[in-house]
Amino acid sequence: MVDSIYRTRSLGVAAVGLPDQYADGKAARVWQRYIGDTKSRTEEYRSWVVSLLKQQGCKLVLDVACGTGVDSIMLLEEGFKVVSVDASDKMLKYALKERWERRKEPAFDNWVIEEANWLTLADDVQKPGQGFDAVICLGNSFAHLPDFKGDQADQKLALQNIASMVRPGGILIIDHRNYDHILDTGKAPRGKNIYYQTDLKQDIDTSVLWVNNRPTMVTLDYSLEIPQPDGSQNAPDT
């Protein structure tokens, strides 16, 4: 069993320096229900991530935006050793629950989950030797870092910190939506690569905020109808 399973830096609030967009717990619950099941990951997506890591000989992976743990769990099931971090303790509780329920499996017994954020990553995460074989930031997660200063200084610092965790010759995988296309056209592209599937009734509204006659910000509003245990439908969660 590992010496440290979970390390928190807060008392139910976000890690220092990064606002917790899931602090009330509601969004984390909806997100877990929406794409929290590893079975929701398409075979195309799983094959892409796993084959890329295996081709590069990766064994130890740092998931810097693990959320509820869905991608980390997928990699654990594929035989990788994973360290998972997120800035939201509300999101991490779902990963911790999965770890506990599967603790008799060696991969899950050795799964390390920590509360951390990208702005202080070097202080929050102990880098093994020269670094991790691979660092992943999946699920459009990087776009959730606000640009409060307006100069992308936090984004640059976050990228620098994330990249510093990769060993020489290792790989860094960051995926996100094509926001340039959305800003130019006002709608999301019809891509061929689908990374999750869900049976929930959903409605996703894509909007572009214009400032001084320039497209500046993209907002995505999700409305989901989550069934109750008796099969009835709740009013949509947004």
Q: Is 206 inside a domain boundary? A: no
Q: What is the pLDDT of residue 5?
A: 47
Q: Is 195 inside a domain boundary? A: no
- Residues belonging to the active site: 22, 139, 144, 177, 196
Looking at the structure of the chain, the number of domains it has is 1
Q: What is the mean pLDDT of the chain?
A: 77
| Dist. CA 140–CA 221, nearest whole Å | 14
pLDDT in tens, 19-73: 555 565 556 566 656 555 556 566 777 888 999 999 999 999 999 999 889 899 9
- Amino acid occupying residue 192: K
In this structure, of 15-29, 109-123, 130-144, 212-226, the range with the lowest mean pLDDT score is: 15-29
pLDDT in tens, 173-226: 998 766 666 667 766 666 555 544 445 445 556 666 777 777 666 666 656 565
Enclosing domain of residue 152: 6-179
- Amino acid occupying residue 79: G
Tokens 């139910």 correspond to what residue?
A: 12
Q: What is the pLDDT of residue 191?
A: 59
- Which parts are annotated binding residues for S-adenosyl-L-methionine? 22, 31, 41, 65, 86, 117-118, 138
Which CATH number characterizes residue 159's domain? 3.40.50.150
Q: Is 190 inside a domain boundary? A: no
- Side by side, which strands form the sheet with 60-63? 6-7, 112-115, 81-86, 60-63, 132-137, 166-174
Is residue 74's pLDDT more than 70?
yes
Burial class (CB in 10 A: 0-12, 13-18, 19+), 188: middle
Helices (H), the chain: 26-35, 43-55, 70-77, 89-101, 106-109, 121-124, 153-163, 179-185
Q: What is the pLDDT of residue 34?
A: 53
| Dist. CA 134–CA 136, nearest whole Å | 7
Q: What is the pLDDT of residue 147?
A: 79
Q: Is 186 inside a domain boundary? A: no
Q: Is 25 inside a domain boundary? A: yes
Is residue 133's pLDDT more than 60?
yes
The residue ranking higher by pLDDT, 127 or 17, is: 127
Q: Is 154 inside a domain boundary? A: yes
Q: Is 198 inside a domain boundary? A: no
Q: End-to-end alpha-carbon separation of the chain, Å?
A: 40
- Mean pLDDT within 151-165: 95
Q: What is the pLDDT of residue 54?
A: 96
The residue ranking higher by pLDDT, 206 or 78, is: 78
Q: Are 187 and 175 in contact (CB under 8 A)?
A: no
Q: How far are the Cα atoms of 8, 21, 96, 161, 221 from residue 237, in angstroms, in the given order?
A: 29, 16, 24, 34, 10
Q: Is 43 inside a domain boundary? A: yes
Helix or strand or coil: residue 191? coil
